Amino acid sequence: MAASPVFPPSFPLTSSRKRAGDPLESPAQRPRESSFETKLKAFIEAIQAFERAALIVTQPRTRGESGSRPVCATYTTFRIPGRVTDPFKGHSSYLLSNGANLDGQILQDWMSNPPAVDDLLKIEVDGIFPARVILEALYGADFSLVVDRRSQSTPEDKQSIKKREALCHVDFPKWLKKPRWECPPLTNVYLEPDHITIIAIDQGEPHSVPASAGDADGLYVGALPREQRKIYNESTASYLEEKRKKPLTKNQHFLPFEAYAGMPECNAMIQAGCLLTGCRPIKFPSFKTIQMPQPFNGNRYKYFLGYGLPDQSKHDLNEVLACIRAKHGDLIAIVFENAAADLGLGPRCACDPSGYETYTLLRFFEWTQSQ
């Protein structure tokens, strides 16, 4: 396991580029804070007051048009000009091909989450990388990333108020169902055209999950502070150990991940496996085990034969690994190479993460640029 990383706050809240040795500026010469920077600071102050903030990154479903995203939570918003890559349905498509009724139901798309997160981290405005600033401020300079999901749904919301209230819960300090009368009212958040809207919800306060994502594409950013990533790794390793000894009738995870059962220090390889194959990980960032479709959801669970990989025919695995080594160096490449060998991947794979920023991959692997 790599030593604990120490990331400097690499993207300060300033557009000033003053160099060492430059003469001191007078107040009149100092660059004025942009309105974008002022709004960014206010957003960060608001979410730092939450019990635990979760970021839902949204954009209108159609380029050039506005949209809306229903929310049932304590929340605040921030807008960034631009878009992330469009979703491509990941591994939820078995629900479509088997005739299940999906009206008003969210599809959880894991494959297009990492490239969209990488797109988000690349956006620069007024000399600032706003998403990096937000994540470092919220989760610490040494925060890490884990693969999370992306939400898609039909525009029509057929979920009743009673059913939505029945899903009221908190995720922090542990997942707990809450009385329906504590569920906040539904609010439709406006999504500006050609902008990303970050909706920060407080997972420590009662909230629910609307069945429809409106006319929006929703992205969950799986960011964790250092101490919570350790718990995430241990929880994943324990689950794999348990299921290796007592398998489920219909497995809810990619079975080769059991090569890392009882080995929390190997979570980087699990993340690498997800980045290459487009599969879902074992746990949500809240440490809750991923089960989709849920066993009690009978009209969909009957189509489920056990979790397996999405189509792996798109890329040549050896070419992808060579590109990763050429762009990102040995440290990152060896994680992908070890994961591919341990998991029995190839000769082809679904995804090519070689084009990601090194910043992004380091966060998935909990390492620093200097290591």
**E strand or H helix that includes residue 166:** helix 161-166
Q: Give the position of tokens 């609010």.
A: 187
Judged against a pLDDT cut of 50, whether residue 69 lies above it is answered with yes
Judged by average pLDDT, the poorest of 85-99, 316-330, 342-356 is 85-99
| Band of pLDDT at residue 89, cut at 50, 70 and 90 | low
Q: How much is the average pLDDT of 129-148?
A: 94
Distance CA 350, CA 352 (A): 7
- What pLDDT score was predicted for residue 269? 97
Q: How much is the average pLDDT of 144-150?
A: 92
Percent of the chain at pLDDT exceeding 90? 57
- What pLDDT score was predicted for residue 20? 39
User: pLDDT tens digit string along 265-312?
Assistant: 999 999 999 999 998 999 999 899 988 776 766 767 777 778 888 889
Distance CA 128, CA 109 (A): 29
Q: Which of 57-61, 105-109, 148-152, 312-316: highest mean pLDDT? A: 312-316
User: pLDDT tens digit string along 156-170?
Assistant: 556 677 878 888 999
Q: Give the position of tokens 């960034």.
A: 80
Asked if 52 contacts 172 with a C-beta cutoff of 8 angstroms, the reply is yes
Judged by average pLDDT, the poorest of 106-115, 139-148, 176-185 is 106-115
Give me the DSSP letters along 269-310. Answer: HHHHHHHHH----SB-TTSPBP-SS-TT-HHHHTT-------
Judged against a pLDDT cut of 70, whether residue 21 lies above it is answered with no
More confident residue, 193 or 70: 193
- What pLDDT score was predicted for residue 343? 97
Instruction: Tell whether pTM > 0.85.
Output: no
CA contacts within 13 A on the Cβ side of 331:
16
More confident residue, 306 or 26: 306
User: pLDDT tens digit string along 176-220?
Assistant: 999 989 999 888 899 999 999 999 999 999 998 776 666 788 888
| Band of pLDDT at residue 367, cut at 50, 70 and 90 | confident
- What pLDDT score was predicted for residue 11? 36
More confident residue, 96 or 38: 38
Q: What is the mean pLDDT of the chain?
A: 83
Percent of the chain at pLDDT exceeding 70? 80
Judged against a pLDDT cut of 70, whether residue 90 lies above it is answered with no
- What pLDDT score was predicted for residue 88? 66
Q: How much is the average pLDDT of 113-128?
A: 95
Judged against a pLDDT cut of 70, whether residue 37 lies above it is answered with yes
Judged against a pLDDT cut of 70, whether residue 225 lies above it is answered with yes
Q: How much is the average pLDDT of 60-69?
A: 90
Spatial CA neighbour of 53 closest among 197, 172, 160: 172
Q: How much is the average pLDDT of 2-26?
A: 38
Contacts 24+ apart (CB under 8 A), 107-110: 107/151, 107/152, 107/153, 108/149, 108/150, 108/151, 108/280, 108/292, 109/149, 109/150, 109/151, 109/152, 110/147, 110/148, 110/149, 110/150, 110/274, 110/278, 110/279, 110/280, 110/281
| Band of pLDDT at residue 254, cut at 50, 70 and 90 | very high
Q: How much is the average pLDDT of 84-92?
A: 67
Judged against a pLDDT cut of 70, whether residue 103 lies above it is answered with no
Q: How much is the average pLDDT of 5-25?
A: 37
- What pLDDT score was predicted for residue 257? 97
